[in-house]
Amino acid sequence: MHFTMIRTSLTILLMTALFACTGATEKNQKPGQPSRIIFLIGDGMGLSAVSTGYYFGDLTSQFDRFKHIGLINTSSATHKITDSAASGTALATGTKTYNGAIGLDTARTVLRNITEVVSEMGWNTGVVATSAVTHATPAAFYAHVEHRNMEEQIAVQLLDSEIDFFAGGGKRFFNQRRDGLDLFRTAEEKGIIIDTTGLSSIAPEPGRKYGFVLAGVGMPTMLEGRGGFLPEATSLAIEALSAGDNNFFLMVEGSQIDWAGHDNDEAYLLAEMRDFENAVRVALDFAEKDGNTLVVVSADHETGGVTLAARPGEMGGSDYNDILITFSTGGHSATLIPVFAFGPGADHFTGIYQHTEIFHRMLQTAGLAEQIPGENTPD
Ligand code: MG
Ligand code: ZN
């Protein structure tokens, strides 16, 4: 922690004390400012992946429910085509960095992320993923390490972070570690309620922390029978984080949309997209009822160069009534990525802009622009 960070923390501490003195509740947002933010990231989800809901399955799409839509450029500080670590860091901290970085800038300086910023204002925070909870995307929302593959260190940082709810895979980074530590015991010593068997029905208590670590590394794929984990964990997270009528920030990742793209596997892609849409449905249903919740859905980059082209006809030519999902790469692509927003402040997310803007716009809409740390906005 360098000096400016200490100074920022002190300012925030003083401001928090000020709010307490004036008798303001946790909900210090003005009308039109969200007091809850749910950010859903479809890892590797480009516009073709989003479009699949309109051509496959029951032909309904949760994306119909959004009225405010934008586009982001996701290039990293070092590459036109980003990886999930650099783009996750950009989304979580508002700063572009090098491919592979988690929560650090190109000079290896620690960047404060959105969960750290809103925690200082009394908000609860959570991360849910279908990868390991220590994988690049969720890690960018609480950790600071030089490379995404340092998952044992990332697990230590998760338990030291302000995160109040986490769910996903990654047991081996907690209890099969090179240093021999059992981080599940460490977690329990810290008062975090850990479940490694399933999303137990908890009656969430305000101020309690919960961790669900349910697979060795990544969660099973939908085709292997993951079932309702992602929408159910989203629902449980909302319940736990809003306990005591608290403000909260929740990041939910459909991690395996990316893995399906890397595998060039259309059945896998369709199954992961439908599952992700079910999590989007849970978030939107809550936001509709709550009225103070901003829902933002986007991606860190596109994976697979997915195309919804016509299937080649038997007599030559193409059958324009039959869509064949095809891929142009086993890696990521540079296409602009859609942003969908719903709820108070949603109108801030239209236009074409850099992925770093999402961090800034989320905090601005919540009236927390002054809390954005100076080191996160290099000129
Ligand atoms: Mg990811
Ligand atoms: Zn990827």
Ordered by start, the domain boundaries in the chain are 31-371
Confidence of residue 369 (pLDDT cuts 50, 70, 90): confident
Confidence of residue 225 (pLDDT cuts 50, 70, 90): very high
Q: Could you say which ligand is closest to the alpha carbon of residue 299?
A: 1
Q: Could you say which ligand is closest to the alpha carbon of residue 88?
A: 1
Name the token pair of 192: 């975090």
Scan for tokens 């719903």, then name that residue.
Answer: 342
pTM here is: 0.92
How far, in Å, from the CA of 330 to the mean position of ligand 2?
A: 9
Alpha helices by DSSP H, the chain: 3-21, 47-51, 84-93, 114-120, 136-139, 151-160, 172-175, 183-189, 229-241, 256-262, 266-290, 356-365
Confidence of residue 16 (pLDDT cuts 50, 70, 90): very low
Q: Is the pLDDT reported for residue 222 higher than 70?
A: yes
Q: Is the pLDDT reported for residue 239 higher than 60?
A: yes
Q: Could you say which ligand is closest to the alpha carbon of residue 331?
A: 2
Lowest mean pLDDT among 26-40, 103-117, 125-139, 164-178: 26-40
- Is residue 159 within 8 A of residue 187, CB to CB? The reply is yes
Which pLDDT belongs to residue 73?
A: 98
Catalytic site residue 84?
yes
Which pLDDT belongs to residue 378?
A: 54
Rounded Cα distance between 85 and 102, Å, is 6
Q: Could you say which ligand is closest to the alpha carbon of residue 137?
A: 1
Which pLDDT belongs to residue 30?
A: 82
How far, in Å, from the CA of 241 to the mean position of ligand 1?
A: 22
152-161 pLDDT, tens digit per residue, is 999 999 999 9
Which pLDDT belongs to residue 75?
A: 98
Which pLDDT belongs to residue 21?
A: 35
Q: Is the pLDDT reported for residue 5 higher than 80?
A: no
- Average pLDDT over the chain, rounded to an integer: 92
Which pLDDT belongs to residue 170?
A: 98
Residue of 48, 76, 84, 298 marked active site:
84
How far, in Å, from the CA of 272 to the mean position of ligand 1?
A: 13
β-pairing, 302-303 with 124-132?
A: unpaired
How far, in Å, from the CA of 34 to the mean position of ligand 1?
A: 26
Q: What is the percent of the chain with per-residue pLDDT over 90, rounded to a whole number?
A: 85
How far, in Å, from the CA of 75 to the mean position of ligand 1?
A: 16
Q: Is the pLDDT reported for residue 9 higher than 60?
A: no
Q: Is the pLDDT reported for residue 10 higher than 80?
A: no
Q: Could you say which ligand is closest to the alpha carbon of residue 134?
A: 1
How far, in Å, from the CA of 303 to the mean position of ligand 1?
A: 11
In angstroms, how far apart are the furthest CA atoms of the chain?
78
How far, in Å, from the CA of 14 to the mean position of ligand 2?
A: 41
Buried-state track 41-63, b at ≥16 Cβ within 10 A, e below 16:
bbbbbbebbbbbbeebeeeebbb
Confidence of residue 200 (pLDDT cuts 50, 70, 90): confident
Confidence of residue 27 (pLDDT cuts 50, 70, 90): low
Q: Is the pLDDT reported for residue 376 higher than 90?
A: no
Q: Is the pLDDT reported for residue 331 higher than 90?
A: yes
Which pLDDT belongs to residue 375?
A: 64
Confidence of residue 293 (pLDDT cuts 50, 70, 90): very high
Confidence of residue 28 (pLDDT cuts 50, 70, 90): low
Q: Is the pLDDT reported for residue 3 higher than 70?
A: no
Q: Which CATH superfamily is domain 31-371 in?
A: Alkaline Phosphatase, subunit A (3.40.720.10)
How far, in Å, from the CA of 259 to the mean position of ligand 2?
A: 6
